[in-house]
Amino acid sequence: MPWFPESSSLLFPADSSPAQLPFFEGLLELDADELSSSFAGEPKLDDPRHHPVRDVNSFADWVRKTQLWLSAEQVHAWPVDIVEHDGRVVEEVVLKLVRDGSPIELPVAIASDLDDTGRLVAVRLYHSLWPLTGGHEVRAPLLKVSPDAKLPDDAVGDYQRALAAGSVDGVLAVFEENATVREPAGGAYSYHGTNELRHIYTSMFTDGAGIPLEHCQLTDDGRACAIEYNIRKWGHHSIPPQAGLAVYVRGATGRLVSARIYDDVDPPTASDSSHSV
């Protein structure tokens, strides 16, 4: 049974697509051998909670440890969205778990590269460690900047340019009035409507400069665009190069109705929203 269900809808006719399992459901139901058979070659997987996986043995170790974690903390995956295009799938979920009797929500994005038969080539998980540990951890870039990662000439591209320039008005112009922006920590770190968005972006750009992203890979189905990126600067502050992913969803007007961010960047103190939530 192929792992990761959404991948095949792009590559197989509806009447011939094989039975499949979602990412985290597959982790709970299949063993390491069954899961590794979904890869075209040696398993290649990057997860912020683990060392990089590059072969069958390290993959089996990752499966074992992840299954133990999912079971111990009663983790359930709630689907959010899927973007797929040109041999790549980005799935978004919120993992809901219980730790010391308290509920925790962890937003996760899973980017999967596929070969032309629909088998996995590489899997990259993106999420913040903040909901789990209360802290951040530098995650080195997973991809190189690519000239093929060209921004679309619409609200997605306009947002990236406004973000890099540190323009609050430019950012607000690309969102619909009832839009939502969710930070990597999720939960209370979600902002709705123009007033809340103005407040959080004013905080982000507090030192008068923007947040330029280095674009590595775009997955755009016309409705939503997922960008895998590296970040090296926040305002005037240089930071260690780190990996991230963000998903931007277009509304009926062409402006954005939501933006969801998946990285583990520790912002400068003046821009740290955890001080006000």
Q: Are 256 and 179 in contact (CB under 8 A)?
A: yes
Query: Rounded mean pLDDT of 74-92?
Result: 93
Residue 137 inside a domain? The answer is: no
Buried b / exposed e across 16-26, counting CB within 10 Å, b at 16+?
ebeebbbbbeb
Same domain, 172 and 269: yes
pLDDT at 30: 87
Judge whether 216 lies within some domain: yes
Structural domain includes residue 136: no
- For 232, list phi and psi in degrees, rounded to 5: -125, -15
Q: Are 82 and 89 in contact (CB under 8 A)?
A: yes
Q: Count the helix, strand and coil residues of the chain and give each as a percent rounded to the nearest 5.
A: 25, 35, 35
Q: Which domain holds residue 258?
A: 155-275
14 and 110 belong to one structural domain? yes
Q: What is the pLDDT of residues 122-178, one digit of tens each?
A: 999 999 999 999 899 999 999 999 998 999 999 999 999 999 999 999 999 999 999
**Measured distance CA(143)–CA(127) in Å, rounded:** 16
Q: What is the pLDDT of residues 25-73, one digit of tens each?
A: 888 888 999 899 999 999 999 999 999 999 999 999 999 999 999 999 9
How does the average pLDDT of the chain come out, rounded?
90
Residue 268 binned pLDDT confidence (cut-offs 50, 70, 90): confident
Q: Is 149 helix (H, G, I), strand (E, B) or coil?
A: coil
Q: Residue 258 sits in a domain of what CATH number? A: 3.10.450.50
pTM value?
Answer: 0.91
Those residues with Cβ within 8 angstroms of residue 188's Cβ, 6 or more apart along the chain or in another chain: 277
pLDDT at 270: 56
